[in-house]
Amino acid sequence: MAPRVTIIDIARAAGVSKSTVSIVLTGSGRVSPETADAVRAAMRDLGYVYNRGAANLRNPKSHVVGMVINDLSNPFFAELAIGIERVLRTSGYIPFMANTAESLLRQSEVVRSMREHGASGIILCPTADSTGREINELAELGMPIVLAIRRVAGARVSLVASDNRAGSAAAARHLLALGHRRIGYVGGMARMAVRQDRIAGFSEALAAASVAIDPTRMIECAPTKDAGFVAMSALLAQPNRPTAVMCFNDVVAIGAMLAITRHGLTPGVDIAVVGFDDTSEARHASPALTTVSVGAGDLGERAGQMLLRQISGAATGPETHIGEARLVVRESCGAPAQSRDVA
């Protein structure tokens, strides 16, 4: 095995001191461009790779920020992550991303690992089972933290989320205005705070129109395309099936539309379908999906900015940003063409 190249070897090859090599590696001081070029050339010639992770362990203040995402298979969270990364990159921070797949154990493991590697802060899209106690404990250890998309009861930290209640109410009012009275709701699990908020907006709109909610048309399921397909198939099997369905998110809605088509029906003609999030997939679905736009990328940018304020000490306490939720009418709800707001 070839001997490990050290910064002493680099210094000798470049004809400079060990401290000069260290300055070039870390960017912690100034050297002439010629000297820096000589050091980098020596590194290339000797095959030296700087172990930045080890350096960060020696220096607890790194330029790494953790992004802990609960479901990267959902295009919404991918768009959110891109927004976060855009802000971090322009500020000189490197995102370290992990997908928990809704596992609380996995979330605890990756958060601990990020702390051990000296992450400067964490943006957390919490699992459905997260508790305010564990998040507060993390904040009390001095870790800058921002919750993204999902609020957690009792958590005393910054939050970036969309106006789920208002968005769902607007979507429900739209379906009511189109004449629907048998309206179902598909997707999300009861323990999810986001579902609770969206169901609240849905229920308020129906109550205001004196339309009763039929519990048999309120179907819980995982927020995935496959689960949306199965849940919608169950609704279609009912003798008095709904004429419209609101879905927890776009992924569930697309699964629901696939089920409708598989049963020989046409979304937007036989059954109106509305999603939530306005992902790129919603715009390119067939038919194009009516949904609630929340600007995932913008929310990600806001979360990144909020975390950077904490890291720099500019934030004086927890902040909350609730982003606007706007109904975007397309083909899947069967609205007249002139009423469509095509994004």
Task: Please report whether residue 319 resides in a domain.
Answer: no
Same domain membership, residue 141 and residue 96: yes
β-strands 326-328, 291-293 pairing: antiparallel
Same domain membership, residue 195 and residue 215: yes
Task: Please report whether residue 321 resides in a domain.
Answer: no
Same domain membership, residue 218 and residue 78: no
**Is 158 in a helix, a strand, or coil?**
strand
Same domain membership, residue 179 and residue 275: yes
Q: What is the pLDDT of residue 53?
A: 54
Task: Please report whether residue 57 resides in a domain.
Answer: no
- Convert the pLDDT of each residue in 237-294 to its tens digit: 999 999 999 999 999 999 999 999 999 999 999 999 999 999 999 999 999 999 999 9
Task: Please report whether residue 138 resides in a domain.
Answer: yes
Same domain membership, residue 261 and residue 308: no
Same domain membership, residue 281 and residue 178: yes
For 58, other C-beta atoms within 10 Å of its C-beta total 8
Distance separating alpha carbons of residues 289 and 281, to the nearest angstrom: 9
Q: What is the pLDDT of residue 62?
A: 66
Distance separating alpha carbons of residues 248 and 263, to the nearest angstrom: 21
Q: What is the pLDDT of residue 342?
A: 37
Task: Please report whether residue 201 resides in a domain.
Answer: yes
Closest CA to 10 of 59, 34, 20: 20
Please, which residues bridge with residue 320 across strands? 159
The domain tally of the chain equals 3
Task: Please report whether residue 261 resides in a domain.
Answer: yes
Same domain membership, residue 87 and residue 117: yes
DSSP string, 172-215: HHHHHHTT--SEEEE-B-TT-HHHHHHHHHHHHHHHHTT----G
Task: Please report whether residue 148 resides in a domain.
Answer: yes
Same domain membership, residue 205 and residue 170: yes
Distance separating alpha carbons of residues 261 and 343, to the nearest angstrom: 24
Q: What is the pLDDT of residue 30?
A: 74
Number of H helices, E strands in the chain: 13, 12
Q: What is the pLDDT of residue 340?
A: 47
Tokens of residue 260, six digits: 């409708």
Distance separating alpha carbons of residues 53 and 219, to the nearest angstrom: 46
Same domain membership, residue 107 and residue 197: no
Q: What is the pLDDT of residue 315?
A: 85
Which residues are CB-contacts of 26 (< 8 A; sequence separation ≥ 6)? Answer: 55
Mean pLDDT in runs of 10 for the chain (343 residues)? 76 90 73 86 82 54 86 92 91 90 93 87 95 92 93 95 98 97 96 95 98 96 96 95 97 98 97 97 95 96 95 90 97 71 39
Q: What is the pLDDT of residue 277?
A: 97
Same domain membership, residue 13 and residue 158: no
Q: What is the pLDDT of residue 341?
A: 46
Q: Which domain holds residue 98?
A: 64-162+295-312
Here the CATH number for the domain that contains residue 186 is 3.40.50.2300
Task: Please report whether residue 58 resides in a domain.
Answer: no
DSSP code, position 5? P
Same domain membership, residue 179 and residue 245: yes
Q: Are 204 and 166 in contact (CB under 8 A)?
A: no
Same domain membership, residue 282 and residue 178: yes
- Convert the pLDDT of each residue in 188-212 to its tens digit: 999 999 999 999 999 999 999 999 9
Distance separating alpha carbons of residues 40 and 48, to the nearest angstrom: 9
